[in-house]
Structure 1
Amino acid sequence: MIKKWFGGVLAAIVLGAASMGAQASMISNAELAAMEAQLELRDQVMQQISRADVQQQLVAMGVSVMEVEQRVAAMTDAEIAQLHSQLQDLPAGAGVVGIALFIFVVFVVTDVIGATDIFPFIHPVR
């Protein structure tokens, strides 16, 4: 009885998987260039975060470096572009503090809206 049931379920899974077709389509050069540009922006932001002085500032603010890296990896392309432009606008000497402060503000905002729970002293708006 169990063998028949298991065999039926396995057959249904195999047939279901076989009936799903993969869709492939061509992408244009402009789309490819846009994707490469977004990846480059993301890499530049991650390089800024991986600097030792930035990591020290983040730890001093009570934010773990791993959390920052995870949040940046989860950011949308628009958020990455905004973060990158703000990093580029900072004066040379204010880069470290500015980066850490901006990331801290992003975490506070996400805590307030309830998307994260990093800081125990911030209560989300419900």
Structure 2
Amino acid sequence: MMKSGLRTLVTLAATLLLFAIVTSPLHASMVGTGELLASEQAHVDRATLMQTLSREDIREQMERMGVSPEAAQERVSRMTDAEVAELNQRLAELPAGAGVVETVLIIFLILVLLDALGVTDIFSFIRPVR
């Protein structure tokens, strides 16, 4: 008798809780072509930068500087879409065949900037701005 009364009480409480749950309204809107293109371009830019970082000559330069390729790829994944686009633009402006040193320098500068902002802690000689 006690079990059936408890079961009824639990069922009643569960039913009341279901009615008490407030659902938030959903908002739907049209997605413009420009927004879709910008989103797709961001994915392409990030993939291009990751492909550049996976080149053997770039990997060797980063390892000479004490940066593992995995750490560099992780940092690129944390960059904003605008930063990735700017870096890809700089890389595209470099002259053909002479881009290895400049690419490594740009990557080094990005790592220094991330260290200065306190996002990473790679270089011990850089104190983050807080």
Normalized against structure 1, the TM-score is what? 0.78
Cα drift, residue 113 of structure 1: 2.6
Specify the alignment match of 1:105 in structure 2. 109
| Ranges in structure 1 where 5+ consecutive residues have no aligned partner | none
RMSD of the TM alignment (CA)?
A: 2.3
Match of 1:82 among 83, 86, 100: 86
Q: What's the offset of the Cα at 1:58?
A: 0.6
Residue identity in the other structure for 1:44:
T
Q: Say which of 82, 87, 91 aligns to 2:95.
A: 91
1:74 and 1:118 mapped to 2: Cα distance? 15
CA-to-aligned-CA distance 1:8-60 (integer Å, 9 cap, x gap): 8xx58x936xx245544320112111211221111111111111111111111
Instruction: Look up the SS of the partner of 2:21 in the other structure.
Output: helix
Quote the sequence identity (%).
44
What SS is found at the alignment partner of 2:97? helix
Letter in 2 for 1:122: I
Q: Letter of the 1:104 partner, please give it.
A: F
The structure showing larger relative contact order (alpha-carbon pairs under 8 Å, at least 6 residues apart) is: 1
- 1:25 is aligned to 29
TM-score of the superposed pair, with normalisation by structure 2:
0.76
Give, in whole Å, the separation in 2 of the partners of 1:34 and 1:86: 19
* Residue in 1 that maps onto 2:67: 63
- Give the distance between the partners of 2:99 and 2:46, measured in 1 at CA: 17
Partners of 2:103 and 2:26 lie apart in 1 by: 42
Q: Which sits farther off after the overlay, 20-29 or 104-113?
A: 20-29
Gaps of 5+ in 2: 1-9
Cα distance between partner residues in 2 of 1:24 and 1:67: 38
- Larger Rg: 1 or 2? 2
Give 2:77's match in structure 1, choosing from 73, 79, 83: 73
In the alignment, structure 1 residue 37 sits paired with structure 2 residue 41: yes
Distance 1:97 1:21, change over 3 A: farther
Q: Which amino acid in the other structure matches residue 118 of structure 1?
A: I
Instruction: Tell me the matched-pair count.
Output: 116
